[in-house]
Homo-oligomer: A and B are copies of this chain.
Amino acid sequence: MIETCMSTFSRSDRKRADIVDAAERLFLGEGYGAISMDRIAAEAAASKRTVYNHFATKEELFRAVVERLYTAVLDGAAVPAVGGTAAEVLRGFAEAVVAHMTRPRFQALIRLVIAENVRFPEITSIYFAAGKEPAVGRLSTWLAEEARAGRLAVDNPTLAAQQFFGSIKEPLFWPRLLGLETLHEPGIVIENAVTIFLARYGRPLIP
């Protein structure tokens, strides 16, 4: 279909986006099973038939929603700078992760992934690609470089990276997923995590 229209998006494209918007809102709020196609149509101010003209089945619409969330969540993830002292770099990673995890859309996505990973096992890759891999991968690469350069005593970079993130996510992120309050200020959590990490690793490797 060639775009001859002046506006970037055709009427069809706009309706489609309305539908995915509505579906995202509802799925993230109440889960896949709890939402009917009728409610999605109403929320999108569209006819049910239009919804089915764009997406043949509810599953197909769900996958489209998750796929779009995938890119949206990745786009929003700030990549921390790796200049400065070790403490500054670690703080940068920690702050990026906190900012990432605090987004309601990310939290709702993770909840959805956990809830639906029996029915839709493929969507697990989203958590991996959009959350775990970029963060842990980048930090552990940096840790490995610092260790090779003799500036940090890290022997197992991927484990060290996971444990660092764990000491931040455990008080700030996971309780929220279960509907519990978080008890500690992000700033304090981050400072503690950085201090603990450097108390162990913040010296050259013994040769």
Using CB atoms and an 8 Å cutoff, list the residues of chain A in contact with chain B. 29-31, 33-34, 110-111, 113-119, 121, 124, 127-128, 132, 156, 158-160, 162-171, 174-175, 177-180, 183-184, 188-189, 192-193, 195-197, 199-201
A-B contact pairs, 10 of them (CB 8 A): A29-B118, A31-B33, A33-B34, A114-B115, A115-B116, A158-B184, A160-B192, A164-B167, A196-B197, A196-B200
Picked from B114, B164, B171, B178, the residue with its CB within 8 Å of the CB of A127 is: B178
Alpha-carbon distance between A160 and B199 when the two chains are bound, in angstroms: 14
With A160-B192, A163-B193 known as contacts, the answer to whether A170 contacts B171 (CB < 8 A) is no
Q: Which residues of B contact A178 (CB under 8 A)?
A: 110, 113-114, 117, 124, 127-128
CB pair B118 A30 closer than 8 Å: yes
Let me know if A174 and B174 touch, CB within 8 A.
yes
Query: Is B33 within 8 A of A156, CB to CB?
Result: no
Q: Report the separation of the CA atoms of residues A116 and B177 in the bound assembly, to the nearest whole angstrom.
A: 11
Most chain B beta carbons < 10 A, residue from A114, A118, A128, A201: A114
| Most interface-central of A110, A111, A164, A196 (chain B CB within 10 A) | A196
Which residues of chain B come closer than 8 Å to A110, judged between CB atoms? 178
How far apart are the CA atoms of A33 and B34 in the complex, in Å? Answer: 8
With A118-B30, A156-B188, A196-B199 as known contacts, state yes or no: A171 contacts B179, CB within 8 Å: no
- Assess whether B158 is in contact with A183, with CB atoms less than 8 Å apart: yes
* A195 surroundings in chain B (CB, below 8 A): 200
Further contacts, 6 of them, CB under 8 A, given A31-B33, A111-B114, A174-B174? A114-B115, A124-B178, A128-B180, A158-B184, A163-B171, A167-B167
